[in-house]
Structure formats: C-alpha cells, structure tokens
Amino acid sequence: MVEPSGLLAGDTRGVAKALSVVERGGREAEELLRGLRGRVGRARSVGITGAPGVGKSTLVQSLGLALLKREERVAVLAVDPSSPYSGGALLGDRVRMPDFLSAGGFVRSMATRGALGGLAVAASDALDVLDAAGFDWVVLETVGVGQDEVDVASEVETVVVVTVAGMGDDVQAAKAGVMEIADVFAVNKADRSGADAQVAAIEGMLALAPPADWRPPVVRTTATTGEGVEGLLAAMLEHQHFLDGGQRRREAHRRRARRRVERLLSALIQERMRTAHREALALALAEVGEGDVDPYTAARRLLDGFCKERP
C-alpha cells in the first residue's frame, strides 16, 4: 500500500512508487486514486503527439528545459506502446533526455498496462499522481498516431501535434486523424526543405475547419538546435491563457472526467463478463467460431443476459 503522504510531500521516490502502483493497476491503484481526491486540478497539462520519427522526444526535452528555466517544476510522462515482451527496455527513462534530467526535470516512461482499462487509464491516473505531487507542468509524450494516442492526448488541457515535412502520404493521413485534437501545431525540422509547404498544408486544412473560439497556431521548430522552442512555448501559454477564459478549463476537466469514467466502466463490465458470465460467453464464442451464429446475433444475446433494462 502506497501512502499518499510521501507522494504529497513531493518526494521523488514516493512519486516513482505511486506511478508504479498506477501502472500495475488493480485495487491498490484504486485506493491510491481515492486518496488523491480533492488534491488534483492544479497542474497544467500538455500533450505532445505525432507520428514516429518527427522528433518528439528532442522537442519535449527542449520544452522541458525552457519551462525549468522559468523555475517551473516539470514532469515528463512518456507513453510507449511497447509490449511486456520487449519490456520497454528500448527507451530507458535516463537515456532519453539527459539534459532535462540533469537540470532537475522528472521523467517517467509508461508502457502498456495489462490491468483494468489499459494504457489510457494508467496515463490518466499518472497525471493525477504528478498533479498531486506538486508539479506545475506535466508534459505527456505519446509515441504513435493511433486511437490509443488520441485517447491519451485527450487527457491533457493543451495538445501539441508535431509534424515534419517530407515523410510521405502516410504522415499526411495520420495527421488527419489528430487534426481535431490539436490546440497547437509544431512543424519540426523546420530547416528542411518542404517545411514551408507543410505549414501551408496545415493552414489550408485549418481554413476548412468550422469556425471556433480557438484557432490552433502553427509554429516552426528545430528541436535539435532549440530554434523555435520559445515560440512553441509561447503558443502553449497562449492556449493556457485562453483556457482561463469563461468556464473553459472547467469544461475541459469535465470532459476528461467523462472519458475516464466511461473507460473504467467499460473495463469493469468486461471484467465482470469474464467472471460472473463466463459460461454464457464461452458458449457464444464457440458458436461464432464454428460459423453457426453471426457475431452480431451472439453479442445481442449476451447483452440481454447481462444488462439490466433500467438502473
């Protein structure tokens, strides 16, 4: 059992221990989260997402350093889709961002969680842990561009989508999947030819979007030299300032609460299905596997055996 006390005192070992608890999941994680009630909601959260190879890690390190220079406490949570099989060993926390670490930043990688709710639940819980531990900023870095990443990115207040020129059609398509969630666009490797065209392409897509109160700025960065990182930080701060207007930050937190509850509920339902309703499930699966029943018919029958019509 992890006591919230060490965590709340902001002690690094307590934080690391608490993060391991939420990564493992289970009852202990639930208890920990219950203990944090009323102590979260202060940290600013930023997600950095984009296709592999665009230079997210270098950009996150530069951003982290820029925030540390402003005397902010900064934690980076890197979410990797690496499997238990590879054990997340490919990206060691310490190897990834040496300058950020030696300047006093906190880094933690998080791999797939087998337990209740998977990676998005674990990442969301980790965000609360870092928030309660007193970090001013939590930067969530995601690897990849699938639904997982969209899910994880939607946990944060400000989403930065990183793209780069000249990676081919696939990247264009991948980018399209995260267009709606971007609050800021960074075109990284801005010293490359094609960067202007990339900026123009994104601005072209934005021009087609329905009008909204916030229009995502498009910022050029060269993470390896640090060029443009201050501009990116300014765009992030501008979006944070925007969130302070009206009920926007509260609404963002409510949306996050909705997603968390829905995700947990869905995981709990699956768990109960696999335990209390195990035999009905096994029978249905055998019938579909043999081609005797189509999957829709089987799923509807199971639903009726499982769900109350009314609360």
Question: Contacts with a copy of itself in 241-280 (CB under 8 A)?
Answer: 250, 253-254, 257-258, 260-262, 264-266, 268-270, 272-273, 276-277, 279-280
Nearest to 16 by CA among 34, 2, 26: 2
Query: Residue 178 corresponds to which amino acid?
Result: V
Report if residue 291 touches a copy of itself, rule: CB under 8 A: yes
Q: Report in angstroms how near the CB of residue 125 gets to a copy of itself at its nearest.
A: 9
Chain length of the chain:
311
Rule CB under 8 A: which of 109-148 touch a copy of itself?
112, 118-119, 124, 143-148
Residues 167-186 that bind a copy of itself (CB under 8 A): 167-174, 176-177, 179-180
Q: Which of 85, 204, 241, 247 binds a copy of itself (CB under 8 A)?
A: 85
Q: Does 149 bind a copy of itself (CB under 8 A)?
A: yes
Q: Judged by CB, which is closer to a copy of itself: 103, or 285?
A: 285
| C-beta of 9 vs 90, nearer to a copy of itself | 90
Question: By CB under 8 A, which span of 129-137, 185-193, 216-224, 299-307 interacts with a copy of itself?
Answer: 299-307
Q: Is 297 in the site for a copy of itself (CB under 8 A)?
A: yes
Q: How far apart are CA 192 and CA 181, in angstroms?
A: 26
User: Does residue number 55 form part of the binding site for a copy of itself (CB under 8 A)?
Assistant: yes
Long-range contacts of 249-256 (CB under 8 A, 24+ apart): 249/157, 252/157, 253/41, 255/154, 256/124, 256/154, 256/155
If one asks whether residue 53 binds a copy of itself (CB under 8 A), the answer comes out as yes
Helices (H), 244-294: 248-275, 278-289
Residue 103 found at the interface with a copy of itself (CB under 8 A): no
Residue 20 binding a copy of itself, by CB under 8 A:
no
Under rule CB under 8 A, residue 162 binds a copy of itself = no
Tell me the β-bridge partners of 45.
Answer: 138
- Shortest distance (Å) from residue 195 CB to a copy of itself: 16
Contacts of 277 (CB under 8 A, 6+ apart): 302, 305, 306
Residue 141 CA to residue 74 CA, distance in Å, equals 13
Place of tokens 């906190």: 106
Residue of the chain from 82, 97, 192, 199 that contacts a copy of itself (CB under 8 A): 82
How many residues bind to a copy of itself according to rule CB under 8 A? 93
Give the up-direction half-sphere exposure of residue 94: CA atoms within 13 A in the CB hemisphere. 1
- The reply to whether 225 sits near a copy of itself by the rule CB under 8 A is no
CB atoms within 10 A of CB 132: 25
| N- to C-terminal Cα separation, the chain | 34
Q: Which is nearer to a copy of itself, 152 or 235 (CB)?
A: 152
Q: How far is the CB of 69 from a copy of itself (least distance, A)?
A: 25
Strand order in the sheet with 74-79: 106-110, 74-79, 137-142, 44-49, 158-164, 184-188, 218-220
Number of neighbours of residue 167 by Cβ within 10 angstroms? 18
Out of 30, 227, 230, 238, name the contact with a copy of itself by CB under 8 A.
Answer: 30
Minimum separation from the CB atom of position 70 to a copy of itself (A) = 28
Query: How buried is residue 21: exposed, middle or buried, by Cβ count under 10 Å (0-12/13-18/19+)?
Result: buried
Contact flag: residue 101 with a copy of itself (CB under 8 A) = no
Q: Which of 36, 59, 153, 187 binds a copy of itself (CB under 8 A)?
A: 36
